[in-house]
Structure 1
Amino acid sequence: MKITLYAHGGSANHGCEALVRSTIKVLKKNETEFSLLSEQPQEDLYYGINQITTVNNAKDDLPHGISKLPYLILMKLRKDDSVYYEAIYRHFTHKIGNTDWALAIGGDNYCYTGFPEQYALLNKKLHAAHIHTALWGCSIDPFRINSKMEEDLRLYNLITVRESITYQALKERQIPNIHWVPDTAFVLDKIEKPLPEGFEEGNTVGINVSPLILNHESNQGITLKNYEKLIDFILSRTQMQIALIPHVVWSHNDDRKPLTCLYEHYKDTNRVILLDDHNSMELKGYIARCRFLVAARTHASIAGYSEKVPTLVVGYSVKAKGIAMDLFGTDENYVIPVSSLSQPDTLTKHFEWLMKMEDKIRNYYDVRLPNYISEISKLDSLLKK
């Protein structure tokens, strides 16, 4: 069987990287051949994805010279992004070639403006070429599902949904071929590198902040104030260390920017460190050795969950809430919507609850996680139906 992965934004988003690695791990058989069509192939080469699959550029530059003119005219007249997508993906099906399945692996691509139209175009192209398509491990905010998106979703031969909120929304709209399966990143391998000075195994709080959540805050600046209050609490009321952990390092969406602000504020305490950039497996290795985790990035939180680290998520979309509900039976106390950070100490109060519940959460992981993660094994059989 030949499987092509696409709708991958690049491995400088280590959540995207984790999806590539874990999908190949779950589906890899002796006869299976993989390829990856990436939006940022240079990132995948940098983080070593070419060691597990071939990597090619999903896009092409706009044509040069006079061949570019028709596209420029159409874009100006129609003011329609599909003209641009048609241009940059004009060789897309040729690049995929003779494949059995094309898996759109960007889990939350349908949650962001512009992306549904982009991947609807590719879905149509693939079907015109008689290639089976799957929307893989997706989350979709129900309010975003309109008639155009429904039409696109019905084209997929298979849709795997990683949390039950999206699953229920698609089921209510009678979208066919949908299956609930946990995010494959729950089975991502981990690599434990030597710990940096200041990182105490089993006595460090991992903290991840995303620039994305700052765009969803209720009052400007309140999110970082909450993180500062949390760090103040940990430093003054506990003996734990703090590791600031970036999980996305794109230039336009870089966790290191807010984390560096926090680090500069607290570095002289000698109890706060800022981790360097690492691949997704190495990041999981660091997170696994934390005592607690406070995370904004979905796949940072999944690394925490899968390694049985009591984890608090600062979320902004359906994915955080849905994954927590499926894992714990509720999202209450496990997920804080960033829009609810109305007071500077809101995050600290939730973290205090997490500390009190530490042993119960760890015991719950022991009972719940094996059955939850075992559901991922059915993915291979879904592609054979």
Structure 2
Amino acid sequence: MVRNVIVTGVTSCENRGVEALVASIAAGLHEHGETRIRVLTQTPAYDQGLLGPWGVDCAADPFVTSKSWTRHRPAETTEQANTRRDALMDEADLLVATGGDIYTSDYGVSTPYLAAPIAAQTHGVPVAMLAHSIGPFTSREDAQSWLEVAERCEVLTLRERVSQHYVQEELGLPSAKAQLTADPAFLLPPAPQERVQDFLATMGIESGEPYVCIAPSRGIARFRNLNEAAHDRALGRLIDRLVKERGIPVLLLPHVHDSRSHNDDRVLVAELARHADHPLVRAVTGPLTATDYKGLAAEAHLVITERLHAAIGALSTRTPTLAIGYSQKFLGVFADTYGDDIPLDSVHLDVDTFVADEKNTEQLLHGLQIQAMKSALTSRLPVLLERARTNFTLLPAINGEVPA
């Protein structure tokens, strides 16, 4: 029997982290039974090109319409959108709510992205919230709205312990209701090594030659109300220090190819490379996919990132990784991944602190324990991979099936 699964909570695969998350979910669903997957997104035609190979069909999200992506969606009236909503629910056997960390007050989208799960529950369609970071909520109303949906979910998994503690201790969700797993993108395969080596050769890097990757975020300054120029200068100092101290190539990875310039990492890496004006600093260009970026991270000596899924791509290949973080999701994922042997403050620096004082960056780089980080990741990764798989082994029970 073919299951019809709707995947919701998707913004756009212009963010390669979204691509990594949704592609991994699609792969996990296909592994556990014959499945027809419909992904609801803000940029359906664009995402189809990236997600089509993973066996999904993309459609414009009729539950959430983002004004900033309107031109990427087919025009439709409210009546037409409502008709599509009903048709989707009528044919669905399961709704998977993803999004990583959309259920928080950080981005102002939490309540709108509950619309599809609420519609599914109203129609009697089972809902699985998979591998989320939850909160913090600044509004009790938003928290209560999420709780009401969460308590009715057949499956609810959390991708890190910080969120687990928050929903249990702060929101009062029963401990038996949510299971700790890991982000499905831990399971995403990197691009084939031959493809990665061919790409590195175009960047002037020979096989086996060490290099550092930096995945900066153009949107992080705006999100945290930081001075954008000050943030860019802090990144420039970081790049300069790496070049001087390590003397190896520094690849700048634009993990978000956003059609909205204020969040387009390609613009930022081009600016950083131009200002560095050093032959070892190279902006990575071209329409690379999430698996391509993971392949580059897998071969790197070190990865430093302001994008969480760039971090997950590196961590899941045992590459020592540092985060310049901006929310609790970084703390949770890094603490769970490195475990107790690596102090969190040795691999994570808050972006406010990063921008405010260059001495904090110096201290972070000076205290790097590359081998200890690699050993911790080698030890912990099997645990994280098994947790990530658990997201999917829980799903067959929804339909009364015995998990494989």
TM range (shorter): 0.7 to 0.9
Cα drift, residue 102 of structure 1:
0.4
Q: Indicate if the aligned counterparts of 2:48 and 2:57 stay in contact, CA closer than 8 A.
A: no
SS, match of residue 375 in structure 2: helix
Q: How does 1:149-188 map onto structure 2 within 5 Å?
A: 149-172=146-169, 173-176=171-174, 177-188=177-188
Cα drift, residue 207 of structure 1:
0.5
Structure 1 letter corresponding to 2:353: S
Q: 2:400 maps to which residue?
A: none
- CA distance in 2 between counterparts of 1:379 and 1:170 reads 18
- CA distance in 1 between counterparts of 2:180 and 2:330 reads 15
Q: 1:8 maps to which residue?
A: 10
| Counterpart check, 1:94 vs 2:83 | no
| Counterpart check, 1:266 vs 2:260 | no
Structure 2 letter corresponding to 1:273: R
Q: 1:121 maps to which residue?
A: 115
- CA distance in 1 between counterparts of 2:128 and 2:78 reads 20
- CA distance in 1 between counterparts of 2:216 and 2:267 reads 9
Q: 2:219 maps to which residue?
A: 212
Q: 1:254 maps to which residue?
A: 264
Structure 2 letter corresponding to 1:375: R
| Counterpart check, 1:43 vs 2:46 | yes
Q: Indicate if the aligned counterparts of 1:110 and 1:116 stay in contact, CA closer than 8 A.
A: yes
Cα drift, residue 247 of structure 1:
0.6
- Unmatched segments (≥5 aa) in structure 2: 66-76, 398-404
Q: Indicate if the aligned counterparts of 1:86 and 1:121 stay in contact, CA closer than 8 A.
A: no
- CA distance in 2 between counterparts of 1:250 and 1:116 reads 21
| Counterpart check, 1:333 vs 2:346 | yes
Distance 1:148 1:204, change over 3 A: same
Q: Indicate if the aligned counterparts of 1:202 and 1:289 stay in contact, CA closer than 8 A.
A: no
Distance 1:86 1:180, change over 3 A: farther
Distance 1:16 1:165, change over 3 A: same
Structure 2 residue aligned with 1:343, among 349, 354, 357? Answer: 357
Instruction: Render the CA deviation track for 1:138-178: whole Å, top value 9, x for unaligned.
Output: 11233446233323332333221111111111122332521
Q: 1:236 maps to which residue?
A: 244
| Counterpart check, 1:379 vs 2:364 | no
Q: Indicate if the aligned counterparts of 1:209 and 1:246 stay in contact, CA closer than 8 A.
A: yes
- CA distance in 2 between counterparts of 1:32 and 1:323 reads 29
Q: TM-score, normalised by structure 2?
A: 0.83
Instruction: Render the CA deviation track for 1:8-48: whole Å, top value 9, x for unaligned.
Output: 11211111111111112223234233222222111212324
Distance 1:292 1:202, change over 3 A: farther
Structure 2 residue aligned with 1:290, among 275, 293, 300? Answer: 300
Distance 1:210 1:245, change over 3 A: same
| Counterpart check, 1:305 vs 2:305 | no
Cα drift, residue 237 of structure 1:
2.2
Distance 1:119 1:156, change over 3 A: farther
- State the number of aligned residues: 361
- CA distance in 1 between counterparts of 2:322 and 2:391 reads 28
Distance 1:227 1:52, change over 3 A: same
Q: 1:322 maps to which residue?
A: 332
Structure 1 letter corresponding to 2:167: L
Distance 1:86 1:379, change over 3 A: farther
- CA distance in 1 between counterparts of 2:94 and 2:166 reads 25
Instruction: Render the CA deviation track for 1:223-274: whole Å, top value 9, x for unaligned.
Output: 222211111112222221100001111122211122111011124x211111
Q: 1:76 maps to which residue?
A: none
Q: Indicate if the aligned counterparts of 2:212 and 2:249 stay in contact, CA closer than 8 A.
A: yes
Q: Indicate if the aligned counterparts of 2:4 and 2:94 stay in contact, CA closer than 8 A.
A: yes
Structure 1 letter corresponding to 2:88: K
| Counterpart check, 1:227 vs 2:239 | no
- CA distance in 2 between counterparts of 1:42 and 1:238 reads 42
Q: Indicate if the aligned counterparts of 1:312 and 1:351 stay in contact, CA closer than 8 A.
A: no
- CA distance in 2 between counterparts of 1:255 and 1:110 reads 24
Report the more deviating stretch, 104-113 or 295-304. 104-113
Q: 2:37 maps to which residue?
A: 34
Q: Indicate if the aligned counterparts of 1:162 and 1:181 stay in contact, CA closer than 8 A.
A: yes
- CA distance in 2 between counterparts of 1:87 and 1:320 reads 39
Structure 1 letter corresponding to 2:371: D
Distance 1:296 1:86, change over 3 A: farther
Q: How does 1:9-88 map onto structure 2 within 5 Å?
A: 9-28=11-30, 29-49=32-52, 52-59=55-62, 88=81
Q: 2:145 maps to which residue?
A: 148
Q: Indicate if the aligned counterparts of 1:226 and 1:345 stay in contact, CA closer than 8 A.
A: no
Cα drift, residue 51 of structure 1:
5.0
Cα drift, residue 120 of structure 1:
2.1
- CA distance in 1 between counterparts of 2:51 and 2:314 reads 23
Cα drift, residue 218 of structure 1:
5.3
SS, match of residue 8 in structure 1: coil
Cα drift, residue 316 of structure 1:
0.5
